[in-house]
Structure 1
Amino acid sequence: MLLEKRLAAEYRKQLRNERISMFFRKAGMTIYEKCSWMRFGPVFLAVSLFLIFFVAFVLWLKISINVDFPFLKFTNVKQLEYMGQIGDFFGGVLNPLLSFMALIAVLFTIKMQSKELKEAKEETRIANRIQDKQTAVFERQNFESVLFRLLDVHSRLAERIRTPNKLGDGDRFKSLVDNVLDLVNENDSVLKLQHSNFDNIDSWFERKAQQERLNAEGLGKLIEAVRLVINQEHKILLSQYFRNMYQILKLIDNFKLEVYEEGSEKGKKSKRQLRMEYFQRRQYCNILRAQISDDELKVLYFNCLMHTGYGLKYYVEKYSLLKHMDQNDFLQVSWEWSAMYLKTAYADYELITDFQIKEFQKARSSSSFIHIFPHHSHQ
């Protein structure tokens, strides 16, 4: 029985000690939570103000009421003067040191703030760049969706023109080309006679002038033949075909492409940026060019010579849509028919110079003012 009572007493004592310990731990946690909102700055300021007022209060009691405090009892005035000199000495030494330390702390704070501000600006710049890239991706997706729909329409229009309503008529594009070439060859006999007389001209300038007049006359006869053939039976169908092609090229040319280059000024594009943008647009035009047959290229050549095809001719020359046309097996005439287009209409991408790309960019920029200063109608 005694052993049981002793064990019970020890258990109750241990339980009481644990409860007391738990109480103090909870009290400490409560006080810590209540005071956790306080920071070093407010606490330091409060302690400093308390010490200042406490010292001022003690000095006031000592000087005004002459109250003595333990360890602060002065027996004579000389001792006070001596302690004042010691205080002035320590104050004169410590004040510059503390001021210098405060200045160092301020400079360190400014440096840290500058670093944080620089990092914040860099993060903002990266975030803006990511957002711009995401926006560019969405815009490109929408652009390609519209582009491929127009390309599908172009394929269906070309197939409708190519497939005749009557059996035995053959490819309508080929028949149009043959009709135009027949008319041109009939009218070229007189021009060939004029060209044969060039050998009797000794002056290079006169021969060049004669060749230019011959080219102009041959171009006039070619345009007349094209007008007779294309603007007759198949005018409506071909007009729809070329208007759709014009809208495809216009969509590609007006699509906003931004090639970023580190160090470039905002609003100004370098030669490299202009070439990269031109290359990307040309890639889309290559998709359209790959769907155009040889006879379609020849009909396209004819159409852009007329007044209504000037708008489409700009894109044909800019993006080299006549690149795959066989120049040796086309017009067998005495005048220079290939000179009716710029050389870029037949050139590979590698042969396009930066100057030519810049000139096309200038022409594109000035085209927005055509409605103010009209010169001729476009496609």
Structure 2
Amino acid sequence: MNKLEVENTTSKQEPRVHYSNRFIKVLILLAVLCTVLGMISPFVIKEKFIRDVVINDVYEKSVTEVDNSEAAEVYPYTQLSDLGPIGDWLGGSSTPLFTLASFFILVAALLAQMVELRATRDEFSKQNETFIEQNKLISIQRFESTFFQMTSLYNEIISTFSDKTSENEISGREMLGKVNNSFNEKLLENIRKYLHPKKYGLVTNQDLINIGRETELLYEIFIATYNDFYNGDDYTTGAEETIGHYLRNLYNILRWVHFAKSLKTHDEKMDYIRIIRAQLSSHELKLIYYNCIHPYGYRMKELADQYNLFDNLNLNSLLIPDLKLIHENIEKLDSNYTEMVKDLK
């Protein structure tokens, strides 16, 4: 529940609390009225029906001194024994009033307690919402702290790339461009060997178009090429020593965002993926794309597709644009793909 919803709920409850308080006041007034009536009713009845026999200097008088007919007319009850029925009637008339007053007081007390409980519950709800928001904020701060440390490490890894064997020393993202070109050369060489197994020949653009139409064949050539490129052989060092930790670090950043409990929606996660995506050069995107087609990078591919990591990649700039057909149909080309990425779905 957001702040606006809490305010709307509170505004709806205020009139209900106001009417409850007014009703409680009415009940209390009714209870006071019944109590007062119950207390004065015996005196009113006595004044109207019972002779007040008081022995003092002013009112002392014997009943025998009054004419019997006159006494019977003015004071119909002259003996204490005559008061029995009147006492019963007084009890019957006052007791209901006191009982009704008690009922009003009881209902008022219950309503007051309900209002108090409702206010306490609302206050607790507000405190709980505040506590949840504070916990969410702390959780996001922890996530961001780790996230930006990982991105800082990611850029540090790139800064360590260097090649001092060439005439002009290259480093950083330029080194990734050289690695990408190295893979393209190996892929072209393997395609040439397939098309021209008994002689050397140039691979034409039409050759690349033709082989791109044979998705399964292209996939086999690509996998063999990437294995040699990444792992190396007895005579050369593979690219794993150069870009292996770079790719693993990038994958773990994507995975950290994907499983972040503090980010509840896909849009929230996309905000952080965009930060990573904005730092990727064209050569990086191509290397990552190639890695995702290989089983080594299936898990990264799953996350990259979910968060549109390749939105800024011009597929026509790939050596073989039809590699996108492998990327799109990887589940059909490799039956192990679904099993390998099932926990990332």
Aligned length: 247
The alpha carbon displacement at 1:219 in A equals 1.5
Q: Which residue is 2:175 aligned to?
A: 172
The alpha carbon displacement at 1:98 in A equals 1.9
Q: Which residue is 1:27 aligned to?
A: none
Deviation larger for 134-143 or 225-234: 225-234
The alpha carbon displacement at 1:224 in A equals 1.7
Is residue 302–residue 341 contact of structure 2 (8 Å, CA) maintained in 1?
no
The alpha carbon displacement at 1:119 in A equals 1.1
In structure 2, how many angstroms separate the alpha carbons of the residues matched to 1:364 and 1:88?
A: 93
Q: Which residue is 2:146 aligned to?
A: 146
In structure 1, how many angstroms separate the alpha carbons of the residues matched to 2:55 and 2:227?
A: 122
Matches within 5 A, 1:102-251: 102-161=102-161, 163-166=162-165, 167-168=167-168, 170=170, 171-188=174-191, 190=195, 214-232=214-232, 233=237, 234-251=239-256
The alpha carbon displacement at 1:319 in A equals 1.0
> Does 2:304 match 1:367?
no
Q: Which residue is 2:316 aligned to?
A: 328
In structure 2, how many angstroms separate the alpha carbons of the residues matched to 1:364 and 1:91?
A: 89
> Does 2:56 match 1:87?
no
* Amino-acid identity (%): 21
> Does 2:304 match 1:305?
no
> Structure 1 residues 139 and 257 mapped into 2: Cα distance closer, same or farther (>3 Å)?
closer
| RMSD of aligned Cα (Å) | 3.5
> Structure 1 residues 134 and 230 mapped into 2: Cα distance closer, same or farther (>3 Å)?
same
Q: Which residue is 1:340 aligned to?
A: 326
The residue identity in structure 1 corresponding to 2:182 is: N
In structure 2, how many angstroms separate the alpha carbons of the residues matched to 1:180 and 1:133?
A: 49
- Tell me the alpha carbon deviations over residues 129-186 of structure 1, each in whole angstroms, 9 at most, x when there is no partner: 111111211221121111111111100111222x323342643222222222233334
- Tell me the alpha carbon deviations over residues 347-367 of structure 1, each in whole angstroms, 9 at most, x when there is no partner: xxxxxxxxxxxxxxxx99962
5+ residue gaps in structure 1? 1-67, 198-209, 260-276, 344-362, 371-379
The alpha carbon displacement at 1:196 in A equals 5.9
Q: Which residue is 1:39 aligned to?
A: none
In structure 2, how many angstroms separate the alpha carbons of the residues matched to 1:194 and 1:148?
A: 41
The residue identity in structure 2 corresponding to 1:181 is: N
Q: Which residue is 2:35 aligned to?
A: none
> Structure 1 residues 135 and 245 mapped into 2: Cα distance closer, same or farther (>3 Å)?
same
- Tell me the alpha carbon deviations over residues 84-135 of structure 1, each in whole angstroms, 9 at most, x when there is no partner: 2222112112222221221122112111111111111111111111111112
The TM-score normalised by the length of structure 2 is 0.62
The residue identity in structure 2 corresponding to 1:239 is: G
The TM-score normalised by the length of structure 1 is 0.57
In structure 1, how many angstroms separate the alpha carbons of the residues matched to 2:320 and 2:80?
A: 124
> Structure 1 residues 178 and 364 mapped into 2: Cα distance closer, same or farther (>3 Å)?
closer
Is residue 139–residue 262 contact of structure 2 (8 Å, CA) maintained in 1?
no
Q: Which residue is 1:17 aligned to?
A: none
> Structure 1 residues 155 and 91 mapped into 2: Cα distance closer, same or farther (>3 Å)?
same
> Structure 1 residues 124 and 79 mapped into 2: Cα distance closer, same or farther (>3 Å)?
same
Deviation larger for 291-300 or 178-187: 178-187
In structure 2, how many angstroms separate the alpha carbons of the residues matched to 1:172 and 1:154?
A: 15
The alpha carbon displacement at 1:70 in A equals 6.8
In structure 1, how many angstroms separate the alpha carbons of the residues matched to 2:340 and 2:96?
A: 70
> Structure 1 residues 113 and 135 mapped into 2: Cα distance closer, same or farther (>3 Å)?
same
In structure 2, how many angstroms separate the alpha carbons of the residues matched to 1:107 and 1:131?
A: 36
Deviation larger for 79-88 or 109-118: 79-88
Is residue 176–residue 230 contact of structure 1 (8 Å, CA) maintained in 2?
no
> Structure 1 residues 258 and 330 mapped into 2: Cα distance closer, same or farther (>3 Å)?
closer
Q: Which residue is 1:318 aligned to?
A: 306
In structure 2, how many angstroms separate the alpha carbons of the residues matched to 1:194 and 1:329?
A: 13
5+ residue gaps in structure 2? 1-52, 64-76, 196-202, 330-338
The residue identity in structure 2 corresponding to 1:242 is: L
In structure 2, how many angstroms separate the alpha carbons of the residues matched to 1:97 and 1:311?
A: 81
